[in-house]
Chains A and B, each alone.
Chain A
Amino acid sequence: MSEAAAGTAETEEGLPRPKETIRRLVQGDLASLRVVIGLALIWAIFQFENDRFLSAQNLTNLMLQITAIGLISVGIVYVLLLGEIDLSVGAVSGLAAAVMAVLNVKHGWNPYLAIAAAIVVGLAIGVLQGSLFSRFAVPSFVVTLAGLLAWQGALLQVLGSTGSINLTDPKITGLANTFYSDTVGWIIAAVVVGGYGAVLFLGHRRRVAAGLESENLAGLVVRFGLVAVVTIVATTVLNSDRGVPLALLILLGFVVGMEYVVKRTGFGRHVFAVGGNAEAARRAGIPVNAIRVAVFGIAGTMAAIGGIMAASRLLAVNQNSGGNELLLLAIAGPVIAGTSLFGGRGSVWTALMGALVIGSISNGMDLLALSSAVKFMVTGGVLLLAVLVDAVARNQRSATGRV
Chain B
Amino acid sequence: MSDGAPLLELEGVSKRFGPVQALDRVDFAVRAGEVVGLVGDNGAGKSTMVKTIAGIHAADEGTIRFEGREVSIAKPQDATELGIATVYQDLALCDNLDVVANLFLGREEVSPGFGTASRQLDEARMEHETGELLSNLAVTIPSLRSEVGTLSGGQRQQVAVARSLLGEPKVVLLDEPTAALGVAQTAQVLNLIRRLRERELGVVVISHNLVDVFEVADRIFVLRLGRAAGEFAAESTTEEHVVSAITGVGSDGEKKNGVEQELRAESAESGEEER
Contacts and interface: CB of A to CB of B under 8 A. Distances in A.
Interface in A1-23: 1-2, 5-6, 9-10, 12-17, 20
Contacts of A272: 94, 96-97, 101
A301 B88 CA distance: 39
**B117, B132, B133, most chain A CB atoms within 10 A:** B132
Interface string B18-33: 0000000000000000
Contacts of A265: 110, 117-121
B143 A264 contact: no
A283 B106 CA distance: 9
B127 interface: yes
B132 A16 contact: no
A24 B145 CA distance: 9
Contact of A284 (B96, B106, B125, B141): B106
Interface stretch (A85-93, A178-186, A240-248, A274-282): A274-282
A345 interface: yes
Interface string A256-300: 000001001111011011011101110111100000000000000
Contacts of A1: 129, 132-133, 136
B102 to A, nearest CB: 8
Contact of B135 (A14, A275, A276, A345): A14
Contacts of B144: 14-16
Contact of A273 (B94, B127, B132): B94
A70 interface: no
Contact of A344 (B88, B94, B124, B140): B94
B184 interface: no
B150 A403 contact: yes
A280 B94 contact: yes
B93 A9 contact: no
A210 interface: yes
Contacts of B117: 265-267
Contacts of A20: 142-143, 146
Contacts of A264: 120-121
A280 B91 CA distance: 8
B97 A207 contact: no
A206 B142 contact: no
Interface residues on chain A, size class: 35 or more
A402 B142 CA distance: 13
Contact of B108 (A16, A266, A403): A266
Nearest to B101: A269
B134 interface: yes
Contacts, number: 127
Interface in B89-107: 91-97, 101, 105-107
Nearest to A275: B96
B128 interface: yes
- Secondary structure class of chain B's binding surface, majority of residues: loop
A279 B92 contact: yes
B78 interface: no
A115 B266 CA distance: 61
Contacts of A2: 136
Contacts of B92: 277, 279-280, 283-284
Interface string A180-211: 00000000000000000000000000110111
Given A5-B136, A14-B143, A266 B119 contact: yes
A219 interface: no
Nearest to B136: A5
Interface in B71-96: 88, 91-96
A265, A280, A401: most-surrounded residue (chain B CB, <10 A): A280
A212 interface: yes
A211 B124 CA distance: 9
B120 A15 contact: no
B127 A210 contact: yes
B128 A14 contact: no
A403 B150 CA distance: 6
A6 to B, nearest CB: 5
B141 A14 contact: yes
Contacts of B110: 265-266
Contact of A13 (B118, B129, B135): B135
B149 interface: yes
A5 B132 contact: yes
A272 B95 CA distance: 10
Nearest to B131: A10
B136 to A, nearest CB: 5
A276 B106 CA distance: 14
A284 B105 contact: yes
Contacts of A286: 105-106
A262 to B, nearest CB: 11
From B105, B134, B144, B146, name the one whose CB has the most chain A CB atoms within 10 angstroms: B105
Contacts of A401: 150
Interface string B207-223: 00000000000000000
28 contacts: A1-B132, A1-B133, A5-B136, A10-B128, A10-B131, A14-B130, A14-B143, A16-B143, A20-B142, A24-B145, A207-B124, A212-B127, A212-B131, A264-B120, A265-B118, A266-B121, A269-B105, A272-B97, A273-B97, A273-B106, A276-B94, A280-B93, A280-B94, A281-B105, A283-B92, A343-B96, A344-B94, A403-B149
Interface of B: 88, 91-97, 101, 105-108, 110, 117-121, 124-125, 127-136, 139-147, 149-150
Interface of A: 1-2, 5-6, 9-10, 12-17, 20, 24, 206-207, 209-212, 261, 264-267, 269-270, 272-273, 275-277, 279-281, 283-286, 343-345, 401-403
Given A15-B143, A212-B127, 8 more contacts: A14-B139, A20-B142, A269-B97, A277-B96, A281-B106, A285-B107, A344-B95, A403-B150
